[in-house]
Amino acid sequence: MTGLLAEPIGSIRELVVSAPALDLGPDLRQTEGVEGTVRLTRTNRGLLVHGRLSTAIEQVCSRCLRELEWPVQIEIDEEALPVIDFASGLPVDVDAEPDALRLNGHHELELEGEVGDAIRLAEPIAPLCREDCPGLCVECGQELAGGPHDHAGADVDPRLEVLRGFASDPERD
Ligand SMILES: [Zn+2]
Ligand SMILES: [Zn+2]
């Protein structure tokens, strides 16, 4: 990145990103690494970061409880500012802009924090394996995705059991 910072304002670098999955803690797991492109543009203060990245996370369908892979698109549009003034070599007053994305002390851009935050925000509240997932049978818990099923062998309402007895007894008057 130091090279780009030495170049005139408006200079551009296009980077291809192919990074392994991040450690997002025990409750969130990526099923794929992070892939995409990041375009860096030299500004008068630092670097404009324009990232288009994608990955996927492990989720559970909120209706049928099946595990699924949830694709995540990550967009980053931020200016990254140095912590060391590039011209003078002196530390920058970072407290003046505490929320700014910062290059590290070697003028390198580390996007793990930004990418991790974006993935957490992309986590769906009620994910579905497919939009019309019928979920589970309220009586027996079986998946309804395979179509209608009967409850032979399952616990059946005793009133229905009586009717079944009638139907299967041809000798009865
Ligand atoms: Zn489902
Ligand atoms: Zn059922």
Q: What is the pLDDT of residues 100-158, one digit of tens each?
A: 999 998 889 999 999 999 999 999 999 999 999 999 998 888 888 878 888 765 555 55
How far is Cα 59 from Cα 31, in angstroms, rounded to an integer? 10
Question: Per-residue pLDDT tens for 43-98?
Answer: 999 999 999 999 999 999 999 999 999 999 999 999 999 999 888 889 999 999 99
Of 74, 8, 71, give the one whose Cα is nearest residue 41: 8
Ligand 1 center–CA 120 separation, angstroms: 21
Ligand 2 center–CA 161 separation, angstroms: 16
Residues of 70-108 as b/e, b for ≥16 C-beta within 10 angstroms? Answer: bebebebebebbbeeeeeeeeebeeeeeeeebbbeeebe
**CA dihedral over 139, 140, 146, 152, signed as positive or negative:** negative
Name all contacts of 159-167 with Cβ < 8 Å and 24+ positions apart.
Answer: none
Ligand 2 center–CA 61 separation, angstroms: 18
pLDDT at position 153:
57
- Whether residue 162 is predicted with pLDDT greater than 80 in this model: the reply is no
**Closest ligand by atom to 65 CA:** 1
Ligand 1 center–CA 6 separation, angstroms: 52
**Is the model's pTM score more than 0.95?**
no
pLDDT at position 154:
53
How far is Cα 114 from Cα 98, in angstroms, rounded to an integer? 15
Helix (H) or strand (E) segment spanning residue 119: helix 112-121
**Closest ligand by atom to 144 CA:** 2
Question: Per-residue pLDDT tens for 1-45?
Answer: 568 988 999 999 999 999 999 999 999 999 999 999 999 999 999
**Closest ligand by atom to 142 CA:** 2
How far is Cα 41 from Cα 75, in angstroms, rounded to an integer? 16
